[in-house]
Amino acid sequence: MNKISRPLAIILILIAATMHGCATTPLPQNRNTDYDVIVIGAGMGGLSAATHLSSGGMKVLLLEQHYKVGGCTTSFSRGEFNFDAALHEMSLGGGKEKALVQTIMERAGVFEKVELIRVKEQCKSVFPGFEFVQPEGEEAFFNALKKRWPDEADNLNRYRDLLIVLSDEISELRNLYLANPLEALLTKITLPLRQRTLFKYHNKTVQEVMDDFFESEDLKAVISQFWLYHGPPPSEQWSIIFLIAQYSYLLHGGWQIKGSSQALSDAYNARIKELGGTVLTDTRVTSINVTDGRVTGVDTEHGDTYTSRYVVSNADPFQTFLGLVGEKEFSGRFLRKLKKIEPSNSFAGVYLGLDVTPDFWGISEYEIFLNKSVDHQANYEAAMAGSYENGLMSLTFYTNLGDPFYAPKGKSVLTLHTYSNMSLWPEPGEEYTRQKEEMMDTLITMAEEIMPGLRDHIEVKEGMTPRTVKNFTFNQDGTPYGLNFTVEQQNRINIHTPIGGLFMAGSWTWPSHSVGMAQVSGFLAANIILNKEDGQEN
Ligand SMILES: Cc1cc2nc3c(=O)[nH]c(=O)nc-3n(C[C@H](O)[C@H](O)[C@H](O)COP(=O)(O)OP(=O)(O)OC[C@H]3O[C@@H](n4cnc5c(N)ncnc54)[C@H](O)[C@@H]3O)c2cc1C
């Protein structure tokens, strides 16, 4: 087993509770199974877990219900245009040292199979009456803010120090993962003394941090703009996840993958096969089989049963525990906790193929955020109530990456996304189609504020709603983010489960949602299993 290196430390605060204090399960005895490990679901979490397990010498079967791998990280074509279904930009994660996700991709052997494209600037934020381009890189970002808000230069310096100290403190917690239980306990007990900043902020929302540091509401709105990469609005969002992610974007940049996020999913798929693993698409798992509290394998929709010593589920926890395993295997306490979980929001949007490139409107940016107010809470509430025109929207100009994958020369693709709430969307039918058309029309009208006449240049139009995400991932409420990242829900779903040999990977579990962090979760799940096999954890 490779030792876990320092860049991985960023996640340790988040996984500490997972690693220690959870019930340990005996090593499985029966080695006479079809596979060592079955992975359910080929989203980023499942693909990553299957790859690291295969690379650790395990015999792996990955089962995916869709006809292709990727989950959210997939692409589709319409006419001459190709669209990334989800990924706007990927954070490579991690603190001051080498980027965490990059390290994990390298270990998986997929880093050399993909070409990453660095996003030029973080984004342009448009608010009523003003706009601000967030340059990429820590220095440039803070200099631009100080130039615009000179009176808040000291506050900005203090905020920057907070990001640095927090990142350092989290790095110091890495021994929570590797340490023996006594060392881990000591670290936890001394946390309030040694990780003072983390302790101070661990129960604060993003908004509380903004209010602690800054005077100007406009500045607060700009700095917290990336709240929408994590789900709940600043007034509800857990500050730690926001601050860590912001610092890592500033240090390591935002990235797309040449050929879209599907290229990353395909690279994982190819790597699993190279390592001797088996990947079956079009194969939905219908049951996780359990005997005497331990997994024994899975059944599929085709009537096949595969046996294994371990199962890693990239499916959401509701399906995994209630649907695939079954309530009878769990304690009442576990089920009550599970049923209280609040999933994050989902998306609605429209994918557009245009007969012109963005410079027709003088747009060179990759991503623009349109905010109807500097009050992010108000924008969020409007979107979630279906009043999209009073909310927020991201405009992603994929063609501005310079990757010819998306559109023929002289044409372009543009994605408009807003937040949405599954409960607003009826079952597919006439009313659903009407609402979807209306939503697409509203978003296009909003985009016309900065792209006059946009609708005259649309060659291809495809809508998506929370139901679309649900269809392709089976995630509860169509959320791609897992648990709503509020202060109250800072503990994610455990990678360990009460069922022996069953582990979780993906956005619902540690360390967090997102394309980058889902890969980290798969790596963690794989490491736990490989450590068990090595007898390091039992
Ligand atoms: C519109 C949109 C924009 C986004 N933008 C970004 C962004 O810019 N940056 C970023 O980092 N993240 C972004 N995300 C979020 C990111 O894509 C997700 O958090 C992440 O990819 C989820 O990975 P996951 O491992 O949780 O798996 P998921 O993508 O949720 O996939 C789960 C997989 O399991 C399969 N499955 C489920 N049940 C079964 C079963 N019973 N049998 C077999 N297979 C099953 C599903 O088919 C699916 O393939 C975005 C998401 C969306 C939808």
What is the per-residue pLDDT for 510? 86
What is the per-residue pLDDT for 358? 98
* Nearest ligand 1 atom, CA 469: 53
Q: In one letter, which amino acid is 273?
A: K
CB of 88 closer than 6 A to ligand 1?
yes
Helix (H, G, I), strand (E, B) or coil at 468: helix
CB of 348 closer than 6 A to ligand 1?
no
CB of 457 closer than 6 A to ligand 1?
no
Question: 3.10.450.240, 3.50.50.60, 3.40.50.150, 3.40.30.110: which CATH number matches 26-74+260-341+493-532?
Answer: 3.50.50.60
The mean pLDDT value for 62-80 works out to 98
User: What single DSSP character describes residue 404?
Assistant: T
Q: Where in the chain is the domain with CATH 3.90.660?
A: 344-483
Bridge partners (DSSP) listed for residue 352: 414, 461
Pairing of strands 412-420, 392-396: antiparallel
- Cα–Cα distance for residue pair 415/426, rounded to 1 Å: 23
From 8-12, 61-65, 476-480, 483-487, the region with the lowest mean pLDDT: 8-12
What is the per-residue pLDDT for 97? 67
- pLDDT-based confidence at 176, cuts 50/70/90? low
Q: Whose CA is nearest to atom 51 of ligand 1?
A: 86
- Residue 480 Cα to ligand 1 midpoint, Å, equals 5
- Residue 518 Cα to ligand 1 midpoint, Å, equals 8
C-alpha distances in Å from residue 157, one per residue of 104, 133, 147, 150, 153: 32, 19, 13, 11, 6
What is the per-residue pLDDT for 204? 97
* 184 has pLDDT over 80: no
What is the per-residue pLDDT for 517? 93
The mean pLDDT value for 60-69 works out to 98
Q: Whose CA is nearest to atom 41 of ligand 1?
A: 285
The mean pLDDT value for 270-290 works out to 98
What is the per-residue pLDDT for 178? 43
Bridge partners (DSSP) listed for residue 289: 297
Average pLDDT, the chain: 91
* 440 has pLDDT over 70: yes
CB of 40 closer than 6 A to ligand 1?
yes
* Nearest ligand 1 atom, CA 47: 25
What is the per-residue pLDDT for 21? 34
The mean pLDDT value for 429-453 works out to 98
Q: Whose CA is nearest to atom 12 of ligand 1?
A: 514
What is the per-residue pLDDT for 536? 57
Q: Whose CA is nearest to atom 46 of ligand 1?
A: 473
- Residue 510 Cα to ligand 1 midpoint, Å, equals 15
What is the per-residue pLDDT for 93? 76
Q: How would CATH label the architecture of 135-169+186-252?
A: Orthogonal Bundle (1.10)
Q: Where in the chain is the domain with CATH 3.50.50.60?
A: 26-74+260-341+493-532
- Residue 493 Cα to ligand 1 midpoint, Å, equals 16
Q: Count of alpha carbons within 13 Å of 38, Cβ hemisphere only?
A: 27
* 24 has pLDDT over 70: no
CA-based nearest residue to 250, from 130, 162, 358, 377: 162
Find tokens 């509020």 and name the residue.
486
Please classify residue 462 by burial: count the beta carbons closer than 10 Å to its beta carbon, then call 0-12 exposed, 13-18 middle and 19+ buried.
middle
- Residue 43 Cα to ligand 1 midpoint, Å, equals 5
- pLDDT-based confidence at 174, cuts 50/70/90? low
Q: Whose CA is nearest to atom 50 of ligand 1?
A: 86
* 13 has pLDDT over 50: no
Q: Whose CA is nearest to atom 45 of ligand 1?
A: 41
Q: For Cα atoms 372, 373, 379, give the angle at the middle one, nearest 5 degrees.
A: 70
Q: Which fold has domain 344-483?
A: Polyamine Oxidase; Chain A, domain 2 (3.90.660)
What is the per-residue pLDDT for 279? 98
- Residue 321 Cα to ligand 1 midpoint, Å, equals 18
What is the per-residue pLDDT for 6? 35
From 95-109, 263-277, 449-463, the region with the lowest mean pLDDT: 95-109
Q: Whose CA is nearest to atom 6 of ligand 1?
A: 87
What is the per-residue pLDDT for 72? 98
Q: Where in the chain is the domain with CATH 1.10.405?
A: 135-169+186-252
pLDDT in tens, 112-153: 999 999 998 889 999 999 999 999 899 999 999 999 999 999
What is the per-residue pLDDT for 473? 98
Q: What percent of the chain has pLDDT over 70?
A: 91
Q: In the numeric block, which tokens belong to residue 81? A: 């245009």
* 342 has pLDDT over 60: yes
- Residue 21 Cα to ligand 1 midpoint, Å, equals 29
